[in-house]
Chain A
Amino acid sequence: MQEGRALTPTQINRDLLRPILEQPKWFWPAVFVLSLIVLVGVSVAGYMINRGLGVTGLNRPVAWAFMITNFVFWIGISHAGVMLSAILRLAKAEWRRPATRAAEVLTIFALSTALTMPIMHTGRPWRAIYWLFPYDFARGVWPSVRSPLVWDPSAIMTYLTSSTLFVLIALVPDIAVLRDHTTGVAHRIYSLLSLGWQGNARQWKFQVVAGVLLSALILPVFVSVHSIVSWDFGMSVTVKAWHSTTFAPYFVIGAVHSGVSAVVFVMIILRQIYGWQDYIRKEHIDALGRLLIVVATAWFYFLCMEIIFGIYGREADELAMREMQFLQYPWNVLMIIFAGITYFLPVALWLPRTFRRNLWIMSFACISVNVGMWLERYLIIVPGLARKQVFTFTWQTYMPSWVELTLVLSTFGLVSLLLLLFSRVFPLIPLYDIKEGEFLRTSVQVGRRTVPATIRED
């Protein structure tokens, strides 16, 4: 499973710290462009908060649409981080090593970005803070714990906190390396952040134990977050299309599907822009591709369950909603596109080994999955609301306004910008993890072949 040449610790330091110690030429132009996108987004958000939600395309049954879709989408992306690093760390999968950090950092940024969406989307965001941070003791009115909208921020905040801790713990040894490679102000900041890391046995033991513990503890959190996001919909007994018991696992596995695809794409980008061909090797992309086949198929199974048991009850309102989803323009076209680009096309591309090792094809498949998963949430949310009960008098449809489109697009700029800035100050591939992998690497002679092997402690 291990290809590529052997790497010395010095070379690992040099390669992986290059983007931090030497500034790439394209860095500031890229930051400028992305900041511009974010700035546009912020201005539009300001405009929307100033004028009221009337500037969106929302209307009377469709009170949630584009922004909530985008919220669920980014929460979904955020699921890759923990899924990859925690599960693979616990399973001691060797090929996780270059992928973990990028995945975890993507988690944090995607989560923070996701959080902005529902807050902006409330009628009075300035007051929504009241319930997100329950400080309203004076009036004695606490948030209603019965509401999924209270479960939601609680779960997301827990997830954000724990995944930030997760990243920090894995980051400490690498920050210490940075501290030793820098001078001046940077040195002082890195010294502070490295928390006195000396790399002695006791510290390593703590670091490893903390990593394993957090991996185990964060997994239930990771499952709960997207389950709770799904329950924002699933609890809604009125919207028949949403009131489905399978929503929790369906959303979780869908989140992993889109999240891992996003990580693969980010890894390919990193490999290309920073020249990390020796670290993010094609075998890693290949392994992730195989994982994605399994994840995608599991997701597809839940999709089938959701649809089959949607029609199963044969209730008039649910059938009307499915009719809109599958047969009415433009939803029918979106539905076909969705099924094609989320499952059939990417899985077909992931099946042959040569395709899994082709970066262009992999990038294409992973983007296609993410576009598809965005559509998935959209196709659940909007038709569900537009046909939510049997009174045809209030049936409606929805078209996003330019405000919503701009906001959604700018979130992509925001996440890219944050990732770019992060990669400028911290290594996006864990140095110590790669070194450990190199260290434990050996080979076994089986007959006439030399087979790569790993030293294991179990």
Chain B
Amino acid sequence: MNGIFSRNEAFVALIILGLVLIIGSINPNFFTLGTLYDLLRSSVVMGIFGVGVLMVLVSGGTDISFTAIAAFCTYVTSRYLNSIGFEGSVLVAFLISGAIGVLLGLINAILISSFKLPTLIVTLGTGNMFRGFMLAFIGTKIVTVLPPGMIRFSRTEFFPVTTLIGGTNGLSAAVFVLLAVVPVTWYILNYTMLGRGIYAIGGDRVAAERAGLNINVIQFFIYCYVGFLAGIAGIVHSSLVRTANPFDLVGTELSVIAAVVLGGARITGGHGTILGAILGVFLVIIINNSLIMMGVPSYWQSAVIGMIIILGTSITALQSKRESRVSIVDNQ
């Protein structure tokens, strides 16, 4: 455990702090509890995805099928629960969706470990396959009336406050899903041999094999776990938007990966922390949801987001380059 709060994370946290101060100085309305609630709620889905992406990146792989898995899981689950007229708790929806996610993740894992194909190619293929299968055989009609359990879940809020405009705002129950996923994954990654094995295979696969790690087992775990997280994120997303839209989510995978990389994970594997990933997601969410408050004209917003991401990642990259330069000199 090389310091919980590494340089990179401290750096992202600093950017966030600076950004918050800038936004607040431009628009003091930013400093309200309601804003915090909104930002947290917005971070949940990307945050859960980010946790999964982090695990895959650390292992040296890339997964771009998780959004397709999420869309698949939540759409199938919502349609199924509606078809049987299920009115019970959202936990059942999470369970079913998570289970479907595990199954789809299993398909990824089987293809990756048995054919030894690059993970990017496999997940590119399976992502399209899952989505195509859903649209062709399950349906394309948007579910606008969700199972009652999911609607109740989306309406559950805590600690309500009155907003400036006169409405009410509370902390969404969905935030607690992220608050559960983060420590569990953090524990797995840092306090189990399985988690350390994920770092190990991301660091040096051959060394991991020689050490006697069963790489297949680890990969099966990773992709099933990511599938599970995608299933959970899917239900949270549908609940929060109150629709299960089969066309949704797919297309956001790269911004999730960008956020996680912003938080210090490396595409080449072995590096990255949960805290970093979550900070990266927060940063992206804050940027995405504050440009209106800052009065950035809409035709500038995409450009501003792009610039901040490039700035953030290049500073991180520069940092790691400097680190590696130091080590080259040491080698000599």
Q: Do A and B come from one complex?
A: no
